[in-house]
């Protein structure tokens, strides 16, 4: 019997941990302040952690007030990666704008691309062909696994589990190979189009993806084998950074953070979009609310996503030869070969690429369950070819504001574990 068989999927048994009242700092919910006496005693050391520090998941600056090794004050300073995506997108036609959202949350690029495309389709009232829906679902789930793998690799790395990084990036590379096969690029694929996807999946995709689906559950067992019974890992994660369900909801948390605090909430089940209403999967929910349970949710979600990918592949195979993009010439680029023979096609192509297509006046809020939780695109259109206003509801933004709540009374070393478990992508936080 291998090591992994003994340890896989066996969560640590313990009594549910929670706390009375609320841990959210008052009066400023995102700033933890030391008490007046402590501040006056002169024993407090203010430490600037970041913005350039290997364990801050990007350019995050944490200003911690330390009393010995205890964190008594904390605030997060963000904005170092602010790029003005929302302003830039107001100057681009919708067609060109699709490239931007995926660079916002650079780990879940396809999910971010999706929310923008869904918002445009909602305004246009555009029907998406079945095949495109299944291809999108498949890629979004692969993307979720990809994002969780990067999270697991880096979060474990920050706690000293260096080998985990190499294991995770091994599988991540297989996913990127699949993306490259379908879209031509490994990251920031810009594959989703208004009305469907840019091209059909290539012939070799399904077999290679099936190989991956076969390998992935065993790989997750292996990751668990590395840390699940590892004394250091457990000491660093169990009972650390506890969050109650009420505090999680009050602070606008979603995704794995919310589900680790005992709230059974997943938009893929609650407000099904794409093909999630038709696939069979479970939503992992844990009640400990600590770093360990957030880790468990991520692990279980990778298994569930693999299940979804497998079901998507079956459907993609069945839908072989079906159209992958809507047949609406006012919005969708005409097939390349028609440009040489049809004047109409040439005109449409030219108009869509230069001027863009007009989107009806209105405002919509397209919400999806990204790997980090509730991610949304708020789109306001004035009826023109460029968005009047685009805003992205970033789950990482809400999660990073939570750091002072979770670090109340923790040791400085645990702060790394807590901030890592929030899975904040700084591109998503700063936009």
Partner 1 sequence: MTYEGVPGLVEAVEEYGETTLVVDPARLTEAMTHLRDELGFTFLSDVCGVDYLGWDGKGVAGYIGTAGGRDLNAPGSQGLPKVPRPKPKRFAVSYHLLALREEPARVRVQAFLDDGEAIASVVAIWPAADWFERETYDMFGIVFDGHPNLVRILMDDDWEGHPLRKDYPIGGEPVRFSSAE
Per-residue x/- mask for partner 1, residues 60 to 99, rule CB under 8 A?
------------------xx--x-x-xx---x--------
Q: Which pair of structure tokens corresponds to residue 133?
A: 């829906």
Q: Give whichever of 333 and 401 is closer to partner 1, judged by the CB atom.
A: 401
Question: Helix 162-183 and helix 205-227: axis angle, to 10°?
Answer: 170
User: What's the closest the beta carbon of residue 82 comes to partner 1, in angstroms?
Assistant: 4
Using rule CB under 8 A, residue 430 touches partner 1: yes
CA distances from 185 to 110, 179, 190, 256, 420 (A): 12, 7, 9, 28, 28
Name residues contacting partner 1, limited to 363-422 (CB under 8 A): 363-365, 367, 374, 376, 378, 380, 382-386, 388-389, 391, 393, 397-398, 400-401
Can you tell me whether residue 164 is helix, strand or coil? helix
Residue given tokens 């680029």 in the structure block: 333
Q: Which range binds partner 1 by CB under 8 A, 5-13, 94-102, 139-147, 245-253?
A: 245-253
CA 335, 337, 339, 343 dihedral sign is negative
Q: Which pair of structure tokens corresponds to residue 241?
A: 């950074």
Can you tell me whether residue 285 is helix, strand or coil? coil
Residues in a beta bridge with 391: 378
Using rule CB under 8 A, residue 274 touches partner 1: no
User: What's the closest the beta carbon of residue 360 comes to partner 1, in angstroms?
Assistant: 9
User: What's the closest the beta carbon of residue 391 comes to partner 1, in angstroms?
Assistant: 4
Q: Which of 123, 132, 209, 308 binds partner 1 (CB under 8 A)?
A: 123
Q: Which helix (H) or strand (E) holds 308?
A: helix 291-318
Using rule CB under 8 A, residue 252 touches partner 1: yes
User: What's the closest the beta carbon of residue 355 comes to partner 1, in angstroms?
Assistant: 6
Compute the distance between CA of residue 301 and CA of residue 108 in angstroms, rounded to an integer. 15
Q: Give whichever of 22 and 70 is closer to partner 1, judged by the CB atom.
A: 22
User: What's the closest the beta carbon of residue 374 comes to partner 1, in angstroms?
Assistant: 6
Using rule CB under 8 A, residue 29 touches partner 1: yes
User: What's the closest the beta carbon of residue 402 comes to partner 1, in angstroms?
Assistant: 9
Using rule CB under 8 A, residue 266 touches partner 1: no
Name residues contacting partner 1, limited to 162-201 (CB under 8 A): none
Identify which of 366, 148, 174, 400 has the alpha carbon closest to the alpha carbon of residue 274.
366
Compute the distance between CA of residue 302 and CA of residue 147 in angstroms, rounded to an integer. 10
Between vectors from CA 397 to CA 265 and to CA 238, what angle results, nearest 5°?
Answer: 60
Compute the distance between CA of residue 302 and CA of residue 4 in angstroms, rounded to an integer. 16
CA distances from 387 to 119, 196, 367, 377 (A): 11, 20, 18, 12
Q: Which range binds partner 1 by CB under 8 A, 29-37, 51-59, 169-177, 295-303?
A: 29-37
Compute the distance between CA of residue 378 and CA of residue 342 in angstroms, rounded to an integer. 37
User: What's the closest the beta carbon of residue 408 comes to partner 1, in angstroms?
Assistant: 14
**Contacting residues toward partner 1, per CB under 8 A:** 24, 27-31, 78-79, 82, 84, 86-87, 91, 122-123, 249-252, 263, 265, 270-271, 355-356, 358, 361-365, 367, 374, 376, 378, 380, 382-386, 388-389, 391, 393, 397-398, 400-401, 430-431
């Amino acid at each position: 019997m291998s090591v992994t068989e003994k340890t896989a999927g066996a969560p640590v048994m313990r009594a549910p941990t929670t706390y009375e009242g609320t841990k959210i700092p008052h009066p400023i919910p995102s700033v933890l302040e030391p008490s007046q006496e402590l501040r006056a005693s002169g024993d407090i050391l203010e430490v600037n952690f970041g913005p350039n520090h290997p364990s801050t998941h990007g350019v995050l600056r944490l200003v911690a007030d330390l009393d010995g090794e205890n964190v008594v004050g904390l605030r997060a300073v963000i904005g170092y990666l602010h790029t003005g995506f929302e302003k830039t997108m107001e100057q681009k036609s919708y067609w060109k704008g699709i490239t931007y959202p995926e660079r916002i949350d650079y780990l879940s690029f396809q999910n971010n691309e999706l929310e923008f495309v869904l918002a445009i389709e909602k305004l246009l009232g555009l029907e998406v062909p079945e095949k495109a829906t299944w291809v999108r679902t498949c890629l979004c789930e692969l993307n979720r696994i990809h994002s969780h793998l990067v999270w697991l690799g880096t979060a474990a790395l920050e706690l000293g589990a260096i080998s985990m990084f190499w294991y995770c990036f091994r599988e991540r590379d297989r996913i990127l190979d699949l993306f490259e096969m379908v879209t031509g690029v490994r990251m920031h694929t810009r594959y989703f189009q208004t009305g469907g996807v840019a091209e059909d999946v290539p012939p070799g995709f399904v077999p290679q993806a099936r190989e991956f689906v076969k390998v992935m559950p065993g790989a997750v067992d292996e990751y668990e084998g590395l840390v699940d019974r590892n004394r250091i890992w457990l000491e660093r994660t169990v009972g650390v950074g506890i969050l109650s369900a009420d505090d999680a909801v009050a602070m606008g948390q979603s995704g794995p953070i919310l589900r680790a605090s005992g709230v059974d909430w997943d938009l893929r089940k609650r407000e099904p979009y794409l093909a999630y209403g038709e696939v069979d999967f479970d939503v992992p929910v844990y009640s400990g609310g600590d770093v360990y349970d957030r880790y468990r949710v991520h692990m279980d979600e990778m298994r569930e996503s693999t299940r979804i990918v497998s079901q998507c592949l079956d459907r993609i195979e069945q839908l072989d030869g079906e159209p992958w993009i809507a047949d609406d010439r006012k919005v969708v680029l005409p097939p390349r070969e028609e440009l040489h023979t049809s004047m109409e096609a040439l005109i449409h192509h030219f108009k869509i690429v230069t001027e863009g297509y007009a989107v009806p006046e209105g405002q919509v809020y397209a919400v999806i369950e990204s790997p980090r939780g509730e991610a949304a695109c708020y789109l306001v259109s004035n009826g023109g070819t460029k968005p009047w206003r685009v805003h992205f509801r970033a789950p990482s933004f809400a999660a990073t504001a939570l750091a002072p709540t979770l670090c109340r009374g923790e040791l400085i070393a645990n702060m790394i574990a807590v901030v890592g478990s929030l899975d904040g992508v700084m591109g998503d936080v700063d936009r």
